[in-house]
């Protein structure tokens, strides 16, 4: 029963995240006048802001996990995170430009608290049931595909056909439903993820002070930007932020390799982990283009008419979760068959195959771009 609580919470969170994400770049680059006015920003600036947003979502999972481990506990972190996400989407739903960056900030902070910690609670539910943990995670991760599908279908339609802020509001309603059901059924989780790590009250109070001071500093910077006291070039910031993340990751791996007291075998595994880390970064950089450059290409160069109905651009992103659901059992059967004949590839090889298909997809897009430059739209 506890898994159902987490499943529904994750489903509504992913619905809100992917639904809003499908609209973000389209809203920023939309014309400032007409039926559904957007912000009228350049594609370059919009892509930079989108990249910063997605990068911060991934980055904030690290401090979000630390806060849950040492201050809040995972259950409370998930609840607070879900509430902040809903607040962020409702802030985005306000039809004023000044609320845009504030809303994105709320979503980033809330996702940092929720995303990694809800998966940790799933593991805690099966702490002494190793044989059931994989099945539990398989069921749990289905919520991502169901939620993202709902987000693409509902938020993209409302945002593009009625008004951008209706789409953002729908994302907020979805997350609010997740908050309500988590509160209602939280007792089913028992002690899973309930308590933070043991430490003295003095140390926990000091850590809490650091956390609140960081939040105050962040909102002071955002407030100064909204009032025009400081100006941030999104392209410059996106470039420097990418450098920052690369340097931090590099320093972390060097520290582990040289100073963490690892054995020779552990260092060999760390090298493999580092290679997988680079591959994962490349994969997600490509994957997240679905709501960035690929979204713009779909809007500007793709024939979206089906039987006289112009489908929302965001609906094209529905293809990813649909194919995941379709092909997951097929690939599971393939791996099972290969295992029976002792030809099942190991995890790094499967990882490499996934990266290869990602690369091939962008080769297809190169051809599509060439066609679009000659005559548009393309089918």
For 2, residues 6+ apart whose C-beta sits below 8 A from its C-beta are 125, 188, 189, 190, 192
Tell whether 179 and 249 lie within a shared domain.
Answer: no
DSSP at 126: T
Of 198, 216, 250, at which residue does a domain stop?
A: 198
Is the model's pTM score more than 0.85? yes
Please say if the pLDDT value at position 82 is more than 70: yes
Instruction: Flag whether 11 is in a domain.
Output: yes
Tell whether 72 and 32 lie within a shared domain.
Answer: yes
Please say if the pLDDT value at position 241 is more than 90: no
Banded pLDDT at 191 (limits 50, 70, 90): confident
Instruction: Flag whether 27 is in a domain.
Output: yes
Give the pLDDT confidence of 105-130 residue by residue, as tens digits.
899 999 999 998 999 998 888 876 66
Give the pLDDT confidence of 36-70 residue by residue, as tens digits.
999 999 999 999 999 989 988 988 888 888 889 88
pLDDT at 307: 87
- Tell me how far the alpha carbon of residue 360 is from its chain's centroid: 23
Buried b (16+ CB within 10 A) or exposed e, 352-379: eeeeeebeeeeeeeeebeeebeeeeeee
* Structural domain of 328: 270-379
Instruction: Flag whether 2 is in a domain.
Output: yes
What's the whole-number average pLDDT of the chain?
Answer: 87
pLDDT at 25: 95
Q: What CATH code is carried by the domain that includes residue 69?
A: 1.20.1250.20
- Tell me how far the alpha carbon of residue 118 is from its chain's centroid: 14
Instruction: Flag whether 215 is in a domain.
Output: no
Tell whether 326 and 184 lie within a shared domain.
Answer: no
Tell whether 126 and 59 lie within a shared domain.
Answer: yes
Domain total for the chain? Answer: 3
Instruction: Flag whether 208 is in a domain.
Output: no
Tell whether 177 and 316 lie within a shared domain.
Answer: no
Banded pLDDT at 377 (limits 50, 70, 90): low
Tell whether 100 and 47 lie within a shared domain.
Answer: yes
Read off the pLDDT of each residue in 289-295 and give the average, rounded to a whole number. Answer: 91
Tell whether 244 and 336 lie within a shared domain.
Answer: no
Tell me what percent of the residues of the chain surpass a pLDDT of 90: 42
Instruction: Flag whether 24 is in a domain.
Output: yes
Measure the CA–CA gap between 65 and 153, rounded to whole angstroms: 31
Tell whether 294 and 237 lie within a shared domain.
Answer: no
Tell whether 322 and 349 lie within a shared domain.
Answer: yes
DSSP at 325: H
Identify the CA nearest to 313 among candidates 92, 170, 159: 159
Tell whether 258 and 278 lie within a shared domain.
Answer: no
DSSP at 316: G
Tell whether 43 and 149 lie within a shared domain.
Answer: yes
Q: What is the DSSP string of 141-193?
A: HHHHHHHHHHHHHHHHHHHHHT-HHHHHHHHHHHHHHHHHHHHHHGGGGTTTT
pLDDT at 189: 86
Q: Which residue spans within the chain are E strands per DSSP? A: 305-306, 309-310
Tell whether 25 and 9 lie within a shared domain.
Answer: yes
């Amino acid at each position: 029963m506890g898994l159902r609580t987490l499943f529904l919470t994750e489903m509504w969170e992913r619905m809100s995240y992917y639904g809003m994400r499908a609209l973000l770049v389209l809203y920023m680059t939309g014309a400032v006048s007409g039926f559904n006015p957007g912000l009228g920003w350049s594609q370059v600036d919009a892509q930079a802001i989108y990249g910063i947003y997605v990068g911060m979502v991934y980055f904030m999972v690290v401090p979000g996990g630390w806060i849950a481990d040492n201050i809040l506990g995972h259950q409370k972190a998930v609840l607070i995170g879900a509430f902040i996400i809903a607040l962020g989407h409702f802030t985005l739903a306000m039809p004023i430009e000044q609320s845009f960056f504030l809303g994105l900030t709320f979503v980033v902070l809330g996702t940092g608290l929720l995303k990694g910690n809800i998966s940790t609670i799933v593991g805690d539910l099966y702490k002494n049931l190793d044989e059931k943990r994989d099945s539990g995670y398989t069921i749990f991760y289905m919520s991502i595909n169901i939620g993202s599908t709902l987000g693409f279908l509902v938020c993209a339609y409302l945002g593009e056909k009625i008004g951008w802020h209706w789409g953002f509001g729908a994302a907020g309603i979805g997350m609010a439903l997740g908050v309500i059901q988590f509160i209602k059924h939280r007792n089913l989780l028992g002690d899973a993820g309930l308590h933070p790590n043991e430490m003295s009250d003095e140390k926990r109070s000091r850590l809490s002070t650091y956390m609140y001071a960081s939040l105050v500093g962040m909102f002071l910077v955002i407030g100064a930007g909204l009032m025009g006291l400081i100006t941030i070039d999104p392209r410059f910031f996106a470039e420097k932020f990418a450098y920052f993340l690369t340097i931090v990751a590099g320093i972390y791996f060097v520290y582990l390799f040289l100073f963490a007291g690892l054995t020779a075998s552990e260092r060999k595994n760390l090298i493999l982990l580092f290679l997988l880390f680079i591959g994962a970064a490349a994969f997600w950089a490509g994957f997240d283009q679905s709501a960035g450059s690929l979204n713009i290409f779909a809007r500007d160069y793709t024939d979206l008419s089906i039987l006289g109905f112009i489908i929302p651009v965001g609906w094209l992103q529905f293809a990813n979760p649909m194919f995941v659901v379709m092909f997951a059992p097929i690939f599971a059967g393939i791996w099972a068959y290969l295992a029976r004949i002792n030809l099942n590839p190991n995890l790094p090889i499967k990882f490499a195959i996934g990266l290869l298909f990602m690369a091939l997809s962008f080769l297809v897009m190169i051809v599509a771009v060439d066609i679009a430059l000659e005559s548009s739209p393309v089918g």
